[in-house]
Amino acid sequence: MKEYIVAVQDDERDFEEVFIAHIRNNTELIRCKDCKYWSGDGYFCGYDMIAFEDDYCSQAKPKKSTQVDHD
């Protein structure tokens, strides 16, 4: 499941269009446990920052996927 942070004004009339545009134009949120810098020790990441597996930051990069897509 992909996650995004979306800012929408309270008076926005076309919420769905704004939401979809935001997803298309911005990067996916990556949780620490899914980041290539995650040390796996449950406390520190590669940036020596305190991090828990469900946290996220702007420096996150996805781990290389080992999952194979089947058509």
Given a cut of 80, whether residue 30 has pLDDT beyond it is yes
* Cα distance between residue 69 and residue 71, in whole Å: 7
> What pLDDT, on a 0 to 100 scale, did the predictor assign at position 71?
44
CA distances from 18 to 5, 15, 51 (A): 12, 5, 31
Render pLDDT for 15-24 as a digit per residue (tens, 0 to 9): 777 778 777 7
Cross-strand pairs, 3: 29
Q: Is the pTM of this model over 0.75?
A: no
* Residue owning tokens 């919420």: 15
Given a cut of 60, whether residue 25 has pLDDT beyond it is yes
